[in-house]
Structure 1
Amino acid sequence: MAQNQSAAEALTGAAQGAVLRPGRSADPAPATELPEADQAADQEVATVEADSIQTDAVPVESIGDADPVQAESRQRTLRLMLRQCDRVLLLDFDLLAMNDWPDNFSVAAARRSRDLWLFSALVAAAIFLSGLTGFVPAWIAGGGFGAFIIILLLGIPAVRRIYTPKPSYLDLLIRRQRMMRDARKHAEHLEGKEGLIWQCARMNDFNPALKNTRFSSLLRLSEQKALPRALSRREHVRLYLIYLLEAEKAYSRVQAAFFEGNQNAIDRGWQEAAAVPEDRA
C-alpha cells in the first residue's frame, strides 16, 4: 500500500513539473520546443512586421525631446514644404492618366484602312483618266468615275459613320493630340510660374520613391520652368503622373507630421512652435 501511494505521488509530481525535495536541487522544468513549422512561421511574421515597420516609418524626428527652438525650426521647415507643394492637391488623375488613349493596334488598323481607301480612289481615278486618253473603253472609264465618286463619299466622316462605328485614322490622331494638349495645359496649371515637382523634391525624406533617378530629368525641367512644353509623349505624362502621386503621399505624411508637432507644441506650451499653415493668397 505504501509503495502504491509513493508511486502515485511520484506520477503526480512529474505531471505538475519541478519538485523541490530535501537534500537535492529542484528538478528542471521540461523544455517545450516549438515545432519547426511554428518556428519558421514566427520568423516569417517577424520579418514581415519588421519590413512593415521599416516601410511605414516616417523619417521625422519627434519633438518629444526637442527644445522650443528646435521644435519651432522643424515646424517652420514642414510649413514651408506644405506651402511649396500644396498645388499637388489639384491633381486631376483622369486627365493625366489618359485611359482613353488610342492604342497602337487601333491606330495601325485605322492606317491600313486609310491606305486601302486611298489606293482604291487612285485606281478608280486612273481608270477614269485612261478612258479620257482612249486607252480603255468609255464605259469602263465611266464605271471608274462612278467608283471614284463613291469611294470619295465613303471617306466623308458623316457618311463613314453610317456603315462603320470605328473611328478613322484622322479621328484617332486628333484624339491623341487633344488629350496631349489637355495634359500639357493641366501640367502647366500645376507647375505654375515657379515650378512644382522640383520643390516637392524636398519631401523625399518622407517618401524615398521621390529619390528615384528616373525623375531627374523631370525635376531639372521643372526647375527650369520648361516642363509642360517638354511633355510631348504619353510616356512623359505618365511618368509625371507617377511622380505627382508619390509627392501626394509625401505631402500627406508631411501634413500629419506638422499637425502632430503642432499638437505637441500646444501641449507643452510652446506658442512659438504652435503655428498653423498660412493661407495662400
Structure 2
Amino acid sequence: MARNQNAAEALTGAAQDAVLHPGRSADPAPVSQKEVSANAGNSAVGTAEVDNNQPDAESIDSVEATGDAGPVRAESRQRTLRLMLRQCDRVLLMDFDLLAMNDWPDNFSVAAARRSRDLWMFSAIVAATIFLSGLTGFVPAWIAGGGFGAFIIILLLGIPAVRRIYTSAPSYLDLLIKRQRMMRDARKHAEHLEGKEGLIWQCARMADFNPALKNARFSSLLHLSEQKSLPRALSRREHVRLYLIYLLEAENAYGRAQAAFFEGNQEAIDKGWEKAAAEPEDRT
C-alpha cells in the first residue's frame, strides 16, 4: 500500500517537473485541389473589388473639368448676348411711319400734276405770244388785249393761294417739295439711328437669330453703315424702304436674342451660376 502511494507521488512529481520543448510543427492536413482553386478565385475577386472601389484620377479630373466648363460657357454666351443687345438696342428707336413714307406721292399723282403744270405753262406762253404779236402789229389790238388779259388770269391761277380756291389737288411743285421733305426727314432719322458708330452693321452679328439678315441684297447697306456714310447715301425711296426692311428684320432678331438672354439668365440662376447670371449693364 505504501509502495503504491509512493509510486503515485513519484508519477505526480514527474508530471509536474516535465517540460514540453518546441519541436517540428505538426504536418498540415491535406488540402484538395478544389479548395485551392476556390481560395485563388476569392483572392482575385477581392483584389478586383478593391481596385474598382478606388476612384480613377482621370475620371475625377474630367468630371471636374466638365462641371467647370458649364458656368464658363454660360458666362461667355451671356456676355456675347449682352454685347449684341447693347450694340443693337438703338433699333428699338425706329420710327416705322417716318421710314415707311406711306404719304409718299405716287408716280401717277406726280404725272398728273406735271401734265397740269405743262398745260398751265403752255396756256401762259400762248397768251403771252398773242399779246406780243399785237405789239408788233401782226394781230389786231383787241386780240392782243384779250391775250394780255388771259395771260394775267393764267398767271394768277398759278399762284398757290389762288389755286386752292378752285382745286384741292396739289400742284407739281407741291408734290416735289413733299417728296424732298420726306426724304430729308428719313435721312435725318437714319442718321439718328446710325449714330457715330453705325447701327445695322453691328446688328448683323445677330444673324444666328434671324437668317434673313444674311441676305445679299443688304450687303451694300452694311458696307455703307460700317463706313458711317449710310444716311448720305439714302437718296431714293427704294433705299429707305430697303433700310426699313433690314431694321424690321434686325428688330425681330433683337427680340429673339433678348429672349435667349433672359432664358440663359434664368437657367444660370436656377443652377447657382452667379457669374453667368448677370443683368444687362445700364447705359450711361
Normalising by structure 2, what TM-score?
0.76
Question: 2:244 is matched with which residue: 241, 246, 250?
Answer: 241
Aligned to 1:8: none
User: What secondary structure does 1:67 align onto?
Assistant: helix
Structure 1 runs (4+) greater than 6 angstroms displaced: none
Normalising by structure 1, what TM-score?
0.77
User: What secondary structure does 1:167 align onto?
Assistant: coil
CA RMSD of aligned residues (A): 1.2
1:147-206 Cα offsets, whole Å, 9 max, x none, are: 000000000000001111100000000000000000000000000000000000000000
CA 1:234–1:117 in structure 2 vs 1: closer, same or farther (change >3 Å)?
Answer: same
Question: 1:113 is matched with which residue: 95, 116, 129?
Answer: 116
Identity of aligned residues (%): 90
Question: 1:265 is matched with which residue: 265, 268, 274?
Answer: 268
Aligned to 2:232: 229
CA 1:147–1:267 in structure 2 vs 1: closer, same or farther (change >3 Å)?
Answer: same
CA 1:208–1:127 in structure 2 vs 1: closer, same or farther (change >3 Å)?
Answer: same
Question: 1:129 is matched with which residue: 127, 132, 137?
Answer: 132
Partners of 1:220 and 1:70 in 2: CA distance: 32
Offset at 1:65? 11
Aligned to 2:64: none
Offset at 1:66? 6.1
CA 1:238–1:65 in structure 2 vs 1: closer, same or farther (change >3 Å)?
Answer: farther
Aligned to 1:27: none
Aligned to 1:173: 176
Gaps of 5+ in 1: 1-63
Aligned to 1:83: 86
1:59-94 Cα offsets, whole Å, 9 max, x none, are: xxxxx9961100000000000000000000001000
AA in 2 matched with 1:194: E
Aligned to 2:8: none
| Number of equivalenced pairs | 218
Partners of 2:151 and 2:228 in 1: CA distance: 52
Residue 158 in 1 paired to residue 171 in 2? no
Offset at 1:232? 0.3
CA 1:276–1:248 in structure 2 vs 1: closer, same or farther (change >3 Å)?
Answer: same
Question: 2:76 is matched with which residue: 66, 69, 73?
Answer: 73
Aligned to 1:254: 257
CA 1:72–1:233 in structure 2 vs 1: closer, same or farther (change >3 Å)?
Answer: same
Which structure's CA Rg is the greater one?
Answer: 2
1:35-50 mapped onto 2 (5 Å cutoff): none
Residue 140 in 1 paired to residue 143 in 2? yes
Partners of 1:193 and 1:168 in 2: CA distance: 39
1:206-249 Cα offsets, whole Å, 9 max, x none, are: 00000100000000000000000000000000000000000000
1:113-160 Cα offsets, whole Å, 9 max, x none, are: 000000000000000011111111110000000000000000000000
CA 1:100–1:130 in structure 2 vs 1: closer, same or farther (change >3 Å)?
Answer: same
Partners of 2:202 and 2:114 in 1: CA distance: 43
Aligned to 1:103: 106
Offset at 1:279? 1.2
Partners of 1:116 and 1:65 in 2: CA distance: 81
CA 1:261–1:155 in structure 2 vs 1: closer, same or farther (change >3 Å)?
Answer: same
Offset at 1:280? 1.2
AA in 2 matched with 1:104: N
Gaps of 5+ in 2: 1-66
